[in-house]
Amino acid sequence: MTSASSADTSGRPNQPSRLAEILAALRDAAVAPVKVVLSYFGEHSILLGKSMAGLFRPPFRLRLFLEQMQFVGVGSLPIIMLVGFFSGAVSAQQAISALRIFNQERFVGATVGISLAQELAPVFTGLMITARAGSGMATELGSMRITEQIDALTTFAVDPIQYLVTPRVIATILMMPIMTMVFNIVGLTGAYLYSIVLEHIDLGQFIEQFTYWTDPKDYVIGATKAAVFGVTLSVASCYQGFNVRGGAKEVGLATTRAVVAGSVSILCTDYFLIDVFHILWPYKS
């Protein structure tokens, strides 16, 4: 029995100890969420570090990297193109509605071009890849964990992080900027078709304003953001799958957590990244 629950010599309850217990419980309650957040970031950072270390250590399994690039990139192409086309068209629609108030519809090419390059393309591509490839990674790794396939890899002296996580993380980092560029091109096509064909915006003005206001740095910003999103979404997905314990239900929950964590990490990181980029490269005026 602890001193906290003991009574003093007069037989009365030990009040200071009771108070200390309550304070300790309050402190634990306050510290617990901080611990959770720190351990969450810590464990993800360790997984990222180990997977990066695996990149520079033999054996080098090129086939696994190519397979993952095919899965993350080529496999996501149809959905990226579909979403890209309609996102570009909707952006153009909204931009024209707003610009029409000032009779400045000619700026639609510039508006859509910049917003696609810096924001819409990397963020939407990240969200689409999270939903499609990130969930797939979490499910596959989770299933491998519960069926002891990951243990089996270890018994063959194969580092499971190097074998399973490294190719997925690297493939996502490499494919995200490429898919973002595809999104840009298809999105601009959507915006162009909507503006020129349906809204009869002047073609020359559309292209003139687009080429004047958009810079290569907009695309560099977009591609860099996409690569960073590739890190966050792939690590979040692999972490959830790799650490599944239990059965099929836990695999499902891990997949859900992977999609939520991947999406949230993209949107939060986006805010900080755009701040950093705007300090480095202020908007053209």
Partner 1 sequence: MNPPRANEPPPAAVPAMPGENLAQRDERWQIRVRGLHKTFGPQHVLRGIDLDIERGRTNIIIGGSGQGKSVLMKHLMGLLKPDAGQIWVDGQDVVPFNDLEMARLRRKYGMVFQYAALFDSMNVVENIAFPLIERYKLTRAEIMERVRDLLRRLDLADVAGIEQKFPPELSGGQRKRVGLARALIDRPEILLYDEPTTGLDPIATKNVDEMIRRTADEFGVTSVVISHDMASTFRIGDRISMLDKGRIIVSGPPDEVLQSRLPALREFVETSGLVAPETGVEA
Token pair of 221, please? 């910003």
Binding residue (CB under 8 A) for partner 1 from 2, 9, 103, 155: 155
**C-alpha span between 69 and 65 (Å, rounded):** 6
Binding residue (CB under 8 A) for partner 1 from 35, 151, 260, 268: 151
Token pair of 191, please? 């915006």
Cα–Cα–Cα angle for 37, 259, 56, rounded to 5 degrees = 75
Cβ distance to partner 1 smaller for residue 168 or 225: 168
The secondary structure of residue 6, as a DSSP letter, is -
**C-alpha span between 140 and 159 (Å, rounded):** 17
Q: Per rule CB under 8 A, is residue 2 in the interface with partner 1?
A: no
Cβ distance to partner 1 smaller for residue 147 or 256: 147
Nearest-approach distance from CB 123 to partner 1, in angstroms: 31
Closest CA to 123 of 175, 73, 176: 176
* Region binding partner 1 by CB under 8 A among candidate stretches 16-24, 150-158, 190-198, 228-236: 150-158
Q: Per rule CB under 8 A, is residue 6 in the interface with partner 1?
A: no
Q: How far is CA 43 from the centre of its chain?
A: 17
> 104: Cβ–Cβ under 8 A, 6 or more apart, which residues?
none
Token pair of 171, please? 């493939």
Q: Per rule CB under 8 A, is residue 59 in the interface with partner 1?
A: yes
Cβ distance to partner 1 smaller for residue 70 or 211: 70
Token pair of 45, please? 């950072």
Token pair of 64, please? 């696994």
* Region binding partner 1 by CB under 8 A among candidate stretches 129-137, 152-160, 218-226, 266-274: 152-160
Cβ distance to partner 1 smaller for residue 151 or 275: 151
CB–CB of 206/108 below 8 Å? yes
Residues binding partner 1: number (CB under 8 A): 13
Q: Per rule CB under 8 A, is residue 65 in the interface with partner 1?
A: no
Cβ distance to partner 1 smaller for residue 9 or 155: 155
CB–CB of 219/117 below 8 Å? yes
* Region binding partner 1 by CB under 8 A among candidate stretches 77-85, 100-108, 156-164, 218-226: 156-164
Report the number of secondary-structure helices (H) and strands (E) in the chain: 12, 0
Binding residue (CB under 8 A) for partner 1 from 39, 97, 154, 211: 154
CB–CB of 119/62 below 8 Å? no
Q: Per rule CB under 8 A, is residue 143 in the interface with partner 1?
A: yes
Cβ distance to partner 1 smaller for residue 64 or 220: 64
Cβ distance to partner 1 smaller for residue 66 or 98: 66
Interface residues toward partner 1, by CB under 8 A: 59, 143-144, 147-149, 151-152, 154-158
